Amino acid sequence: MIDATTFSVSGERFTVVYRIHESATVAREIADNICVEQTIEFPEVLIQDDDIRRHVIGQVQQWDDIDTSTFDATISYAVETSGYTLTQLMNVMYGNASLFPQVKVQSFELPAALSDCFAGPRFGIAGLRRLFDRPTGPLLMTALKPQGLSAEALAEQANQFALGGIDIVKDDHGLANQPFAPFRERVAHCAAAVRRANEETGGRTVYAPMLSGPSEQLMEDAHFALEQGAGAFLLAPGLIGFDAARRIAAADEFPVPMIGHPAMLGSYVVSPHNGYSHGAMFGQLMRLIGMDASIFPNYGGRFSFSKHACQEVAASCLGAFNGYATIFPTPGGGMTLDRLPELSAFYGEDVMFLIGGNLHRQGTTLAESSRAMRAKASTL
Amino acid sequence: MIDATTFSVSGERFTVVYRIHESATVAREIADNICVEQTIEFPEVLIQDDDIRRHVIGQVQQWDDIDTSTFDATISYAVETSGYTLTQLMNVMYGNASLFPQVKVQSFELPAALSDCFAGPRFGIAGLRRLFDRPTGPLLMTALKPQGLSAEALAEQANQFALGGIDIVKDDHGLANQPFAPFRERVAHCAAAVRRANEETGGRTVYAPMLSGPSEQLMEDAHFALEQGAGAFLLAPGLIGFDAARRIAAADEFPVPMIGHPAMLGSYVVSPHNGYSHGAMFGQLMRLIGMDASIFPNYGGRFSFSKHACQEVAASCLGAFNGYATIFPTPGGGMTLDRLPELSAFYGEDVMFLIGGNLHRQGTTLAESSRAMRAKASTL
């Protein structure tokens, strides 16, 4: 037995909805296990009738039958268990539970005591619409690629895209610090190329370099990019860590839009029975860490997301969540110009379209194919 | 078309074995897609017969039929695509491919040009055996818990475990900076408690605090812990990011053993068809980022790992891998004293046993149950 322990807590709790794929009896057992595993990770029988039992162990607050082998357990935890940090919040939410093959985080809710600890998106939809002076209609994004081009060649692309009126010209997420186009050289050239185009057109295009450098260098890279004139950052929390992405987004020294990329996050969503729901991952978590746009693979492209999954992401980017700004769902991956009307009808007005390779397939200059994309978007 | 591009590369390539669960025809298509997706992420038809095609696009080097719907594609990539950093190496290996539900990384191989960029484990098995003066037999680890105890109560546990001869006394991975036992207070008390016990017994027990603080504070936390006398660090790459863990492990300023924890990594291994193999995740990646011991859920405990999965982890901790030191497979999770003989036979001599809650169930002092564990281990 552990000595009876007393302490006071605020009484504020956050909740996580776990979808459990099992028979009813086993699902109940798993829910009880989650309450223990995610908090005390200790034989419950050795805990007395004390404040650890009352406050630290999770509590099943609600139970919903989805079907005969699918149940939603809403479990609440004292905010104190999170230590008021993102990393530990995610640890309580799903640290060891990620090892349970039949448990998936559907969604979560935070009390103000916890959500106040995270700044969330700095711009969001309203802020990006002001920044780009696009009060209505979809925003447009494209990517500099392929890897292997020189910094100059990528910058020439950036210039063309900006001349054509694309809002955000981002690095391909695979551009890091390769010898073909080293980070500093590429960022300097591409930022300058976008600036030249804006001066020519009076446009507001921004260049978003990928920040994926080593932990030791990441903040320095971000400073360098900002000094060179980068107007947004591309961050992949699956690669650099959720908390590293949050740190950059929350820092007042980087007052630019943040774009979340799904690299390495696929394994959290592709299983129907484990991981996070598409909405929790690409909506809630991306907003929590301060992304202003969330890239995800569009349905019908070369990835696996269903229409339903894409709808869920969009709903979670656009729905109410602790007063955080809504953010742009940004479908990409094998997107084509012809699909813009269909996708516009599907996603509605608040969407950012990411079209990469297809702009190169139009048989015209990139400036012209970008203008065609912009023209098409303006009719939507 | 992209202008034909020329550059020179070293010719050195790293390889990744992807296990693809599909029909033979579709599997071949997916392998070809991976070659493109993980590198240029661009319509291949727009690439000329140039150095991008020759060197940047991945190449299927080998094809193995596992069964009629399972195939291993060994794909090689130019080392230059990795930018010689961990984050980008993992991005090429599995960034966007993580979104393919039927693609799993089985293993990977690095040429010296790449493995030389990562220090790997500082101690490994040989180093830890010297550190603890345990030339043979299993090493022993336990955890301070449950969350909710005060720093003093946790320190009292630490003292008892150390008196009983446990080699590594770690924080429960859920201990962060909660008000019950704030990080600095807990680390100071626990490190001192272990030191007192060592002075009394002449033992060499080390205390391993969990480092999961916010990105802004993580290095400062590590310095504080070291100054207080922490003798090892507990790191969860799934929580703080793989590269943050690598950074701490590689830093000469932290010359202590590193222990890898699987929190939030479950979703990468529980699916048979997506993610990483157990060996690639808990063996290869943990060694690459410099962990000296790799904690994973033992078979027959409260988690899901099969005997086969545990064998795979152990083999990957102990096998040849680019000259990196071998590391201790560290099974934990619902482990009991009675299972030590069985587990010792299963894992062999080079294993670290992590027993947590069970030491509290013995109805004796923690020092006595620790001594019982040590006595049992010495007969194995």
Residues A226-258 have pLDDT tens digits of 999 999 999 999 999 999 999 999 999 999 999
Top residue of A170, A185, A270 to mutate, by most chain B CBs within 10 Å, is A270
What pLDDT was estimated at residue A334? 77
Top residue of A33, A36, A41, A172 to mutate, by most chain B CBs within 10 Å, is A41
Residue B1 has pLDDT above 90, yes or no: no
CB pairs < 8 Å spanning A and B: 313
Rounded to a whole number, what is the distance in Å from the CA of A135 to chain B's nearest CA?
A: 31
Residues A93-145 have pLDDT tens digits of 999 999 999 999 999 999 999 999 999 999 999 999 999 999 999 999 999 99
What pLDDT was estimated at residue B152? 98
List strand residue ranges (DSSP E) for chain B, in order. Answer: 13-21, 59-67, 70-78, 103-109, 139-144, 168-171, 206-208, 233-235, 258-260, 275-276, 293-297, 328-332, 352-354
Q: Which of residues 54-113 of B touch A (CB under 8 A)?
A: 55-56, 80-88, 90-92, 94-101
Residues B317-345 have pLDDT tens digits of 999 999 999 999 999 987 888 999 999 99
Q: Are strands B139-144 and A70-78 parallel, antiparallel or unpaired?
A: unpaired
A270 chain-B contacts, CB cut-off 8 A: 98-101, 271, 274
What pLDDT was estimated at residue A10? 97
How far apart CA B292 and CA B128 sit, in angstroms, is 8
Residues B249-298 have pLDDT tens digits of 999 999 999 999 999 999 999 999 999 999 999 999 999 999 999 999 99
With an 8 Å Cβ cutoff, are A274 and B275 in contact?
no
With an 8 Å Cβ cutoff, are B270 and A99 in contact?
yes
Residue B363 has pLDDT above 90, yes or no: no
Among B149, B178, B270, the residue with its CB nearest the CB of A83 is B178
With an 8 Å Cβ cutoff, are B148 and A176 in contact?
no
**How many residues appear in chain B?**
380
Q: Which of residues 281-300 of A touch B (CB under 8 A)?
A: 297
A278 CB near a chain B CB, below 8 Å? no
With an 8 Å Cβ cutoff, are B174 and A38 in contact?
yes
Residue B354 has pLDDT above 90, yes or no: yes
* Residue A341 CB neighbours (<10 A): 13
How far apart CA B197 and CA B204 sit, in angstroms, is 9
Among B179, B263, B360, the residue with its CB nearest the CB of A96 is B263
A99 chain-B contacts, CB cut-off 8 A: 262, 266, 270, 297, 303-305
Q: Are B176 and B183 in contact (CB under 8 A)?
A: yes
3-state secondary structure of B264: coil
Within 13 Å and on the Cβ side, how many CA atoms surround B283?
Answer: 26
* Residue B10 CB neighbours (<10 A): 12
Among B266, B274, B305, the residue with its CB nearest the CB of A270 is B274
Q: Enumerate the β-bridge partners of residue B72.
A: B19, B64
Residue B301 has pLDDT above 80, yes or no: no
Instruction: Supply the pTM of this predicted model.
Output: 0.98
With an 8 Å Cβ cutoff, are B243 and A80 in contact?
no
With an 8 Å Cβ cutoff, are A146 and B88 in contact?
no
With an 8 Å Cβ cutoff, are B87 and A212 in contact?
yes
Element counts in chain A: helices (H) and strands (E): 16, 13
DSSP, residue by residue, A275-301: EE-HHIIIIIIHHHTT-SEEEEEPTTS
Residue A150 has pLDDT above 80, yes or no: yes
Residue listed under structure tokens 């130019």: B78
Mean pLDDT (whole number) for A191-209: 98
Q: Which of residues 131-160 of A touch B (CB under 8 A)?
A: 143, 145-150, 153
A247 CB near a chain B CB, below 8 Å? yes
**How many residues appear in chain A?**
380
The percentage of residues in chain A with a pLDDT greater than 90, rounded to a whole number, is: 94
Rounded to a whole number, what is the distance in Å from the CA of A40 to chain B's nearest CA?
A: 5
Q: Are strands A103-109 and A13-21 parallel, antiparallel or unpaired?
A: antiparallel
Residues B57-101 have pLDDT tens digits of 999 999 999 999 999 999 999 999 999 999 999 999 999 999 999
What is the residue-averaged pLDDT of chain B? 96
B16 chain-A contacts, CB cut-off 8 A: none
